[in-house]
Amino acid sequence: MTRPNPPGSPVVLLVEDEPLVRIVNLEILHEAGFRVIDANDADEAFEILKRRSGIKAVLTDVDMPGSMNGLEFARLVAQGWPEVAVLVTSGKVQPSPQDLPPRSAFLPKPYMPGDLIEALQRVSGADAPAP
């Protein structure tokens, strides 16, 4: 699902299998002025990355169904799309810094909307878009 924001707004690929969490994160990111593409799992997100250019950052949960978890997906993104930043989240595991590839960071769940936006800006090096 994508929702239009002003042209030039950074594009974030949101990878989350929990529908309620995905909806809340979509709203947080839209309110902050990001354009968002969402995927249910890493396999779907990988297909999106292969087809679409211009994605600035990926926001992914660790624990997901499919052939890879969020940490494996973060490593895949770092290898194939090194210009794309990755923010990994989880309420179940706390990865060590060695588990995270370059241009990635970890944000534990639960988090406040401002913390999510700040962490996404920090890892991607992007300023907040104008809503």
- Please give the model's pTM, rounded to 2 decimal places: 0.90
Long-range (24+ apart) CB contacts under 8 A made by 29-33 are 29/59, 29/116, 29/117, 29/120, 30/3, 30/5, 31/113, 31/131, 32/113, 32/117, 32/128, 32/129, 32/131, 33/5, 33/6, 33/9, 33/128, 33/129, 33/130, 33/131
What domains are defined for the chain? 11-124 (3.40.50.2300)
pLDDT digits (tens, 9 = 90+) for 98-125: 999 999 999 999 999 999 999 999 998 8
Confidence of residue 65 (pLDDT cuts 50, 70, 90): very high
What is the per-residue pLDDT for 5? 53
The identity of residue 80, as a single letter, is G
pLDDT digits (tens, 9 = 90+) for 8-63: 689 999 999 999 999 999 999 999 999 999 999 999 999 999 999 999 999 999 99
